[in-house]
Amino acid sequence: MKLAEAESKMQKTVGATQEAFNTIRTGRANASLLDKVMVEYYGSPTPLKSLANISTPDATTILIQPYDKSSLSLIEKGISLSDVGLTPSNDGSVIRLNIPPLTTERRKEFVKLAAKYAEEGRVGIRNIRRDAIDSIRKQEKNAEISEDESKDLQDKLQKLTNKYTARIDELLAEKEKDITTV
């Protein structure tokens, strides 16, 4: 595994962690809350965002306008079955999701969830580092690179690991601030 390949994988891990953070409610309406919602459409699970226009007309409402009016009840059912925790209200042409203000307890739960996602991201980065170090040691053992080159690559890899772990910590701090701000 090359250093550039390891860095690319670490960037993807940070991106995935950011996407996981986006699915956590902060008390404000955010269309990315519905990113993981799947709707059973013509027998196959389909992402909600490919079936409807999702907008946030104000800070407490998400408006879902289906491209196909006949899918309105399917979308409503998909949201109800998802783990979003919001109740859809259907007026015949659009679905509205009202975002209730978060209680202190709920905010604490979301902060814990964000911390869990961040830890999963950190573990992913450390796994990438471990795999890359194994690869470097294998190259050293096979005399493809010298011991000094091996140590140098491992140091660079550790610096990359620290950089991306710090980035996840920054994202976590931002998300915690978003969640706890009333």
Domain boundaries, the chain: 3-22+103-180, 31-98
Distance between CA atoms of 31 and 25, rounded to whole angstroms? 10
What's the pTM? Answer: 0.72
Residue-wise pLDDT tens digits, 70-112: 888 888 888 888 877 778 888 888 888 888 777 888 888 889 9
pLDDT at residue 124, rounded to an integer: 95
- What was the pLDDT predicted at 182? 67
> What does the DSSP assignment read for 101-170?
PPPHHHHHHHHHHHHHHHHHHHHHHHHHHHHHHHHHHHHHHTTSS-HHHHHHHHHHHHHHHHHHHHHHHH
Pairwise pLDDT comparison (99 vs 165), residue with the higher score: 165
Residue 61's nearest CA partner among 109, 38, 94 is: 94
Q: What is the mean pLDDT of residues 103-124?
A: 91
Contacts of 95 (CB under 8 A, 6+ apart): 52, 63, 64, 66, 72, 75, 76, 79, 88, 89
Mean local confidence (pLDDT), 42-47: 86
User: Are 20 and 118 spatial neighbours (Cβ–Cβ below 8 Å)?
Assistant: no
Protein fold of 31-98: Gyrase A; domain 2 (3.30.1360)
- Range scoring the smallest mean pLDDT among 5-19, 27-41, 42-56, 164-178: 27-41
Model pLDDT for residues 16-40, shown as the tens digit of each residue: 999 888 878 777 777 777 878 888 8
Residue 16: predicted pLDDT: 92
Supply the CATH classification number for the domain 3-22+103-180. 1.10.132.20
Q: Does residue 150 carry a pLDDT above 80?
A: yes
Quick one: pLDDT at residue 106?
83
Find the angle CA(153)-CA(158)-CA(162) to the nearest 5 degrees: 150
Per-state percent for the chain, helix, strand, coil, to nearest 5: 60, 15, 25
For residues 118 and 178, give the distance between their C-alpha atoms in angstroms, rounded to a whole number: 15
